[in-house]
Structure 1
């Protein structure tokens, strides 16, 4: 079963039917929101809004461990994480999609492992690459078949948030090799690997990062988010049908 982690709007997409809502408890507390089983594109998937109902949870306050554990309890084995990000490099630009290839973690203070000495055993997972190659290839193939171009060599810098970055911070990320910047892929990706789930991040670029262009970042987000998410929905629709039959 496919699990989708993303914003709060997927359950409102035309043609999507909510067929079950499940509230779960985990050893790490409550997930961000009840999970919804959706019927879409002649297939089904589980959907979990990362920031909670109404988009109220800041990136550093999300219970990533509970979210990943809940999806595993629901029988999810492959996870597609949808993330709105800023563009550091000229490409991909606002409105474009990227299937993230690698990441650098700049977050701090988040519960980043199930190995807490109490509920989870110690694991030293291999994290190169952080995203499952076979699963990424399947996502890329679905995007190709539905005519959505993807950048597939993006490196994501994951920052603490919820504030946006300074121009100096973006220059530092660029020097480190980051081409995108976001706030939620870590520790989500590492926890998914600890849980034995295939995980990939589909990023929609919604703004140029601070200092890379003139103008308001929030205005750029408003201008490009709708077009980018429409592309995401096309990929998801193809993926849900293909994955449900796999």
Structure 2
């Protein structure tokens, strides 16, 4: 469990991947948190972003040891809430389903389509609790990310992975009008909602998906290289978004359990 320290009081967190591990300066601290759902992906680093104390959790682990379908999502979100976090930015890499969004574009999605299977996606296995999820992202956090430079809006379809989409799947997604494809955005978003934490994804386009460009396909090595090329501007935008957040507590939109008796006690 985390040690007691005046520095360890984050209300905002970043769940990120490669390139965000050095988000803080040398004065940052790391804490380990155990949860009823096992260990999170890794130690949680706590440091300062401007004037705000922020927690960082590596989604895939410090050595990128977790594939999208094996990330311990429930442990990750529970661990952050137990530290006092109530608001989360979730930077992620995505494929683009439209030529209008080329590599290097940064998008703040406003809708999500779940195409995953077999992932633990709820804390409420009993009790008949049904969470409102019509608008899956926090409007206040989305606004902060958009005003910091992110492209406003678009639907992100989340696939199971770890394979990339077939050309037919990609063309089908694009035909629905969806703009982005990703492997980690669900169940992360709904678990945050169940824990009454504000959550917004900030997506960095690393490639055009298989169905967008004839003859093209997605290779992991190219995705990682493109992410690395754009990590500087991406981190800068996330830092601006953190600074633009007004308030520390869950917003009204994401406070979904008023009047409901939960089968578990939230941390």
- TM-score normalized by the length of structure 2: 0.82
Q: Report the alpha carbon displacement of residue 76 of structure 1 after superposing the two structures with TM.
A: 0.7
Q: In the aligned structure 1, how far is the partner of 2:200 from the partner of 2:26?
A: 24
Aligned Cα root-mean-square deviation (Å): 1.9
Task: Check the 8 A contact 1:44/1:240 in 2, yes or no.
Answer: no
Q: 1:42 to 1:111 in 2, by over 3 A?
A: same
Q: How many residues align?
A: 236
In the alignment, what sits opposite 2:55?
Answer: 46
1:4 corresponds, among 8, 14, 21, to 14
Find the counterpart in structure 2 of residue 237 from structure 1: 239
Q: Is it true that 1:136 corresponds to 2:142 in the alignment? A: yes
Give ranges in structure 1 of 5+ residues lacking alignment: none
Mapped partners of 2:152, 2:104: distance in 1: 15
More helix by share: 1
Residues 110 and 210 (structure 1), Cα distance of their counterparts in 2 relative to 1, 3 Å cut = same
Query: Could you give the per-residue CA deviations for residues 63-101 of structure 1, whole angstroms, max 9, x where no partner exists?
Result: 111100111011111100011000011222110000011
Q: Residues 39, 110 of structure 1: CA spacing in aligned structure 2 closer, same or farther, 3 A cutoff?
A: same
CA contact (8 A) 1:86 1:205 kept: yes
**Bigger relative contact order, structure 1 or 2 (CA pairs below 8 A, ≥6 apart):** 1
Alignment partners' CA distance in 1, 2:134 and 2:245: 25
Q: 1:244 to 1:134 in 2, by over 3 A?
A: closer
Distance 2:160 2:97 in 1: 17
Structure-1 separation of matches of 2:57 and 2:232: 19
Kindly indicate whether the alpha-carbon contact (under 8 Å) linking 2:169 and 2:211 is maintained by their aligned counterparts in 1: no
Check if 1:95 corresponds to 2:97: no
Structure 2 residue runs without a partner (length 5+): 1-10, 249-267
CA distance in 1, matches of 2:68, 2:27: 26
